[in-house]
A and B are shown apart, each in its own frame.
Chain A
């Protein structure tokens, strides 16, 4: 299998705010991601599962070159997230609720704008826009300002804009958040289509059913460390994913759930 993503001992700490500062415990520093290493391969959906504060979003932000790791490195298609940021940015798509689109623009304008920034040729861009807008039913509201659209409509627009440049490696952070069941299904079906096209997808979520439905392999992240990493099949041999997760959580943190 072709290795697309290689994460090698990624570590990231943050200074804590005064409210959370407990010098006797951690010296005012929160280690969000601690020596994280894993790989993802061409044509697979890798699920990153973990509770809030486990370091999922920090990991994804480092992979998207939005923040720098304190130590360690990761390569996407052989390009380093530390030393070759622009090449990495060019080859990835990143969808997260943290990244917003300007609501004064229309979906059509936003798609064109971001495709232009990624250097997509006009004819390629237009063909891709027609295909994606049609698949997600965006044509009906393509000329309306984003601010006038519903949450589900906005999420659809964010999704198509994030892959306007047809990236090989895609990071989806909670892609079905805020979507109704019908739109949610359109998105999950689309993720499967992308996998079939040979795209590599990192999917961060806390929805077990979504992981069970979509992911080929799963990494369970607790307190910034990878508590388990295996194929979905192996992880759910004895127990279902939810029970496996809570068992790991209790053994790592010592907290009874």
Chain B
């Protein structure tokens, strides 16, 4: 263990005495914050204009009771059926659809309050305005229930525009990209770079066990990648409110302590898994250039797996055992407040087992002269 610490210490000294490397930790976070904030400002300027105070929402009303007038309140549109109206709401071509029940007249002011359904799209400012107008009008009557059927979806918003979904979609993809880039920046330099410079052979003639060298490398590289990843993560989190054009802000991210613990454990295990796999490829390579060539395609695969979490909706927790994909799903689950602790635990265990297996493989590779001394 003493040798592992000596190697970790050496890697830290090497890393932190190199200004380029130190810059590499903090620069991505700063750049991400600056670029995303600029993008956010730009997008919000290009975004939807504020609603005119004289705006009259468009509405399709089914079964409007006699005696109730909406003239001047809504512009009435006609449709052949309610499905066509719903499609237009989804596409922001119609603001709201109000459905009065057929028995409205009989039950109005009676004990059994009739139910009125109001369909809208919260992503559209006009539709949201129309919904609030409709609710205000109906509330004044105080004679019936509104949208009381919890099994039915009335907000026809495109789900991808919801804040939680933005987080659960963007963050895994960004985190995977950032962590993979950070691992890519440190692993080839520390392993293939040492081989290229001839300093690895110097280390190999010492009595230190190959497994200790590998362990020292993986632990220290994971720390550097983690630092860089967290710097990038903070940059992302700080820039998200601007990037999302004010859809949500930091205070809206109400996660519990458990969520943060799960996220932290998951990120650490992902970094370990990434560093291990990149280190194996760096060990196979003759030099930094070749290592980068080996790692780049894999990095793309990992980032794509991070993106896939948006589209994969599996009910089986076993899917979390697939390296990287399972981690992406677990992260997405935590961020959308729908995490299964079992799934997160499986993803972490899977990453740790994957890391351990690759560490053992690397220790064997370090014993192979054809791999370690090839030029």
Chain A positions near chain B (C-beta within 8 angstroms)? 64-68, 86-87, 89-90, 92, 94, 98-105, 109, 113-114, 116-119
Cβ A118 vs Cβ B369 within 8 A? no
Cβ B6 vs Cβ A113 within 8 A? yes
- Complex A-B: 29 CB contacts under 8 Å: A66-B201, A66-B204, A66-B205, A66-B373, A67-B373, A68-B369, A89-B207, A90-B207, A94-B205, A98-B198, A99-B198, A99-B202, A99-B205, A100-B198, A100-B201, A101-B202, A102-B14, A102-B194, A102-B197, A103-B197, A104-B14, A109-B13, A113-B6, A113-B10, A114-B206, A116-B6, A117-B6, A118-B206, A118-B207
Interface presence of B199 (CB below 8 A): yes
Cβ B209 vs Cβ A102 within 8 A? no
Cβ B202 vs Cβ A117 within 8 A? no
Q: Which residue of A lies closest to B212 (CB)?
A: A117
Cβ B205 vs Cβ A117 within 8 A? no
Q: Mark B307-337, 1 if CB is under 8 A from A, else 0.
A: 0000000000000000000000000000000
Cβ B13 vs Cβ A105 within 8 A? yes
Cβ B205 vs Cβ A89 within 8 A? yes
Q: Is the interface of A mostly helix, strand, loop or mixed?
A: loop
Chain B nearest CB, measured from A99 CB (Å): 4
How distant is the Cα of A68 from the Cα of B373 in the complex, in angstroms? 12
Chain B positions near chain A (C-beta within 8 angstroms)? 2-3, 6, 10, 13-14, 17-18, 194, 197-199, 201-209, 369, 373
Cβ A65 vs Cβ B206 within 8 A? no
Contacts of B13 in A (CB 8 A): 105, 109
How distant is the Cα of A105 from the Cα of B203 in the complex, in angstroms? 14
- From known contacts A90-B207, A117-B208, A118-B207, infer whether A99 and B201 are also in contact, taking CB-CB under 8 Å: yes
Chain B nearest CB, measured from A13 CB (Å): 13
Cβ A117 vs Cβ B369 within 8 A? no
Contacts of B208 in A (CB 8 A): 117
How distant is the Cα of A57 from the Cα of B10 in the complex, in angstroms? 29
Chain A nearest CB, measured from B285 CB (Å): 18
How distant is the Cα of A113 from the Cα of B194 in the complex, in angstroms? 16
Q: Which residue of B lies closest to A99 (CB)?
A: B202
How distant is the Cα of A100 from the Cα of B204 in the complex, in angstroms? 12
How distant is the Cα of A102 from the Cα of B199 in the complex, in angstroms? 6
Chain B nearest CB, measured from A211 CB (Å): 24
